[in-house]
Amino acid sequence: MIRAAGALLWRQSSPDSIEIGLVHRSRYNDWTIPKGKIEDGESAIACAYREIFEETGIKAEFTRHLATVEYTDNGIQKRVKYWVAESVGHSTFIPNEEVSELVWNKPNDAIELATYQTDKDLIKKFLEIGGSTDTLIILRHAKALDRGDWDDQDSLRVLSEKGFLQAEQLVNHLEPFKIEEIYSSDFTRCVQTVTQLAQARGITIVESTQINEEIFEEDPEKSITFTNALKQDQKDILICSHNPVIPTILRGILNSKLRNNEIIKLEPGDAWLVHRIKGEVVALDYLPIGN
């Protein structure tokens, strides 16, 4: 199976209207949503981000996962993951052998222009929610030293060697997403997880006791209250917390009675992405740190 990734690219053309970007590929003489093959060792989200830039010259801001499409082409099975990505900067697009043209159209015109029914359906699916959403990233801290290998108080337990590598990896892994504020449990392993990311973004980490394990064990509702307040902010926010805390946070945000075993367990460095419009949740994505 060939694995690929791409993104439906959109932009705000006026306060009341948006446009969809499609590319023309000379080799196939088609109009399509930008996408490309995932390289060895590359995650799907990294591939989509790279392909958008390579094909359009745009450093887009990604939001929700749009769809995963599977189809057979000349007897070869293909799987393509698509995200939603907003064009917010200047395009450096230059026509080349692979992509000869980038055009922007109103959604209905883009549907008409798109060569493939799959792309037409993706545009229609995108329009069900629309363009602008705020993203709340709920991140499990990177791999820490095992509790049995740590003699000091647990709040001071640090990342392992693997954890520090994951923290470094997060800088590029989360590059497609806009982040305006970073909140972290005040436990050392959480702060260490987001330190390099915060430095790369020029953001000051806000440390909170409300989302650490100790306070959670005493009063789980505090973590829900804290996170729900952030959910209402119309900003793109990252929260770094602990595996025992995150399922309760997520249930609180979704106002759901889901049990822990009904929620995907995040491995160190994995995240939930909660997409909102004016504080209302419109989509939820799981983003693993690995491939």
As a dihedral over the C-alpha atoms of residue 56, residue 137, residue 196, residue 212, rounded to 10 degrees, the angle is: 180
| Domain that residue 72 falls in | 2-129
pLDDT digit string, tens, across residues 245-258: 999 999 999 987 55
Percentage of the chain modeled with pLDDT above 70: 98
Q: What is the mean pLDDT of the chain?
A: 94
What are the tens digits of pLDDT across the range 178-194? Answer: 999 999 999 999 999 99
Contacts of 2 (CB under 8 A, 6+ apart): 37, 76, 77, 78, 79
Do residue 138 and residue 281 come from a single domain? yes
- C-beta separation of 139 from 183 below 8 A: no
Q: Distance between CA 14 and CA 4 in Å, rounded?
A: 32
Integer Cα distance of 148 and 126 in angstroms: 48
The CATH number of residue 123's host domain is: 3.90.79.10
Is residue 236 over pLDDT 80?
Answer: yes
The domain boundary, picked from 129, 155, 179, lies at: 129
CATH of the domain at 279: 3.40.50.1240
Do 52 and 14 reside in the same domain of the chain?
A: yes
Amino acid identity of residue 242, one-letter, is: H
One domain, residues 169 and 108? no
On whether both 125 and 141 belong to a single domain, the answer is: no
One domain for residues 87 and 138: no
In this structure, the answer to whether residues 88 and 208 fall within a common structural domain is no
Q: How confident is the model at residue 291 (pLDDT cuts 50, 70, 90)?
A: low
The Cβ of residue 258 has, within 10 Å, a number of other Cβ atoms equal to 11
CA torsion sign, 86 to 239 to 247 to 220?
Answer: negative
42 with 102, same domain: the answer is yes
Choosing from 112, 129, 146, the residue where a domain stops is: 129
Q: Give residue 146's pLDDT.
A: 94
Asked if the model's pLDDT at residue 279 lies above 80, the reply is yes
Same domain, 73 and 185: no
Q: In the listed set 102, 129, 156, which residue is the last one of a domain according to the structure?
A: 129
Give CA–CA dist 132/11, Å, rounded: 9
Looking at the 3D structure of the chain, how many domains does it have? 2
| Same domain membership, residue 124 and residue 141 | no
Tell me: do 155 and 283 sit in the same domain. yes
Is the pTM higher than 0.75? The answer reads yes
Q: Kindly state whether residues 271 and 159 are assigned to the same domain.
A: yes
Is the same domain home to 185 and 225? yes
| Contacts with 254 (C-beta within 8 Å, 6 or more apart), sequence order | 274, 281, 284
